[in-house]
Amino acid sequence: MKRQTRMLLLALVGSVAAVVVLIIGMETLRHGPAGTSQGATSVLEGTGAYRQGPERATVTIVEFSDYQCPACKALDTTVKRILASNRDRVALVYRNYPLPQHKNAMKAATVAEASGAAGAYWQMHDRLFETQDMWAPMPDPTDYFVTLATGLGIDPQVIRKAIAENAYASRIGADIADGNRVAINSTPTFFVNGRKVTLNRPEDLEDAVARALR
Mean pLDDT split into 10-residue runs, the chain, 214 residues: 40 36 27 39 90 97 98 98 97 98 98 98 98 98 98 98 98 98 97 97 96 97
Are residues 62 and 190 in contact, defined by beta-carbon separation less than 8 angstroms?
A: yes
pLDDT in tens, 75-128: 999 999 999 999 999 999 999 999 999 999 999 999 999 999 999 999 999 999
Q: Report the relative pairing of strands 189-192 and 50-52 from DSSP bridges.
A: unpaired
Record the pTM. 0.81
Among candidate residues 80, 102, 97, the one with its CA nearest the CA of residue 187? 97
β-sheet bridge partners, residue 60: 91
Q: What is the pLDDT of residue 41?
A: 66
Among candidate residues 84, 89, 102, the one with its CA nearest the CA of residue 186? 102
Q: What is the pLDDT of residue 148?
A: 98
Q: What is the pLDDT of residue 40?
A: 61
DSSP 8-class letter at 117? H
Q: What is the pLDDT of residue 4?
A: 44
**Cβ within 8 Å of residue 7, ≥6 positions away:** none
pLDDT in tens, 107-119: 999 999 999 999 9
Instruction: Please give the Cα distance from 102 to 198 (Å, whole number).
Output: 23
Among candidate residues 65, 46, 32, 10, the one with its CA nearest the CA of residue 184? 65
* Per-residue 3-state assignment (H helix, E strand, C coil) for 37-103: CHHHHHHHHCCCCEEECCCCCCEEEEEEECCCCHHHHHHHHHHHHHHHHCCCCEEEEEEECCCCCCC
